[in-house]
């Protein structure tokens, strides 16, 4: 079972023989993260520290193990390195906007869902439909050019909307360049990614309508470390209950994505 233990161990008192005790004895939690995903995990140009919503999840795990949120070694990895880094043991945990999927469950273990992302669209402030109406979602962008990264699930979904002209770029940052040049009218992607793009341009907004895909994010651990997955689930349960999850959302995501939703309900095990 991946359900949290009935009683969480006290900080600095991890059970002998547990994965958490190995981490405690080492003196640091080793985590795989991004360093360039604004609002989730990106390097602050002033302090040099990597910070964001994903990092706050890791700081809570460190707090629960060590009694300090700062006992973390952050290792910057690419999206493609997320599963291999867990499988070869080079990191204890991955917090890198990783969607929980059945295929990934076959290779690693996940925490319960800590954020429900979804695909949305970003437009210029005050943008209107071709007929002058309000833009409430991608269905209102008929006849307009919308950008997504080539080869992404965002592009796959974008191509399903008839009447919208799909324009590809190598990355979401590439889409932002096209957008700022006036070559496209909108950008689509996970709402968390769009929040980061919106932070770089004061003349845009993420459309506040409902997302049109569901991307449940989970913290990844090695498949053998079931005790660590259960422990992390206990940390996340406490964060949902005591307001820390909402405080982190308000700090990093609320400005672009709107008021905090309820934290995702915990499902323990393979169901995403």
Instruction: Phi first, then psi: give them for residue 268, nearest 5 degrees.
Output: -105, 120
CA pair distance 184, 191, nearest whole angstrom: 18
Other Cβ atoms within 10 Å of 188 Cβ, number? 29
For position 247, what pLDDT does the model report?
Answer: 98
Confidence check: pLDDT of 260 > 90? yes
Please report the sign of the dihedral spanned by the C-alpha atoms of residue 235, residue 236, residue 242, residue 244.
positive
Other Cβ atoms within 10 Å of 115 Cβ, number? 23
Other Cβ atoms within 10 Å of 266 Cβ, number? 16
For position 29, what pLDDT does the model report?
Answer: 98
Find the angle CA(265)-CA(100)-CA(260) to the nearest 5 degrees.
40
Q: Taking a C-beta distance cutoff of 8 angstroms, is the pair 156, 140 a contact?
A: no
Confidence check: pLDDT of 213 > 70? yes
Q: What confidence tier does 35 reach under pLDDT thresholds 50, 70, 90?
A: confident
- Give pTM, 2 decimals: 0.82
For position 255, what pLDDT does the model report?
Answer: 87
Q: What confidence tier does 272 reach under pLDDT thresholds 50, 70, 90?
A: very low
For position 258, what pLDDT does the model report?
Answer: 86
Pick the most confident of 40-49, 78-87, 121-130, 239-248: 239-248
Q: What confidence tier does 215 reach under pLDDT thresholds 50, 70, 90?
A: confident
């Amino acid at each position: 079972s991946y359900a949290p233990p009935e009683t969480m161990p006290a900080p600095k008192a991890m059970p002998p023989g547990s994965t958490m005790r190995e981490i405690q004895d080492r003196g640091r939690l080793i985590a795989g993260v991004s360093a360039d995903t604004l609002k989730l995990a990106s390097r602050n140009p002033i302090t040099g520290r990597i910070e964001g919503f994903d990092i706050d999840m890791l700081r809570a795990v460190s707090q629960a193990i060590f009694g300090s949120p700062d006992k973390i070694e952050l290792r910057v990895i690419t999206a493609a390195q997320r599963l291999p880094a867990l499988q070869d043991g080079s990191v204890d945990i991955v917090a890198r906007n990783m969607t929980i999927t059945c295929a990934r469950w076959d290779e690693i273990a996940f925490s319960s869902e800590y954020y429900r992302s979804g695909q949305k669209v970003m437009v210029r402030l005050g943008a209107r439909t071709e007929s002058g109406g309000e833009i409430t979602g991608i269905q209102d962008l008929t006849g307009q050019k919308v950008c997504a990264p080539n080869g992404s699930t965002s592009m796959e979904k974008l191509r399903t909307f008839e009447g919208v002209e799909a324009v590809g770029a190598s990355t979401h940052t590439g889409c932002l360049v096209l957008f700022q040049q006036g070559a496209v009218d909108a950008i689509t992607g996970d709402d968390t990614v769009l929040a980061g793009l919106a932070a770089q341009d004061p003349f845009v907004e993420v459309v506040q309508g409902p997302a049109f895909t569901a991307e449940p994010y989970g913290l990844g651990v090695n498949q053998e470390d079931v005790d660590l997955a259960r422990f992390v689930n206990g940390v996340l349960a406490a964060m949902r209950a005591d307001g820390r999850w909402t405080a982190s959302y308000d700090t990093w995501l609320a400005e672009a994505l709107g008021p905090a939703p309820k934290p995702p309900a915990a499902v323990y095990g393979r169901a995403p």
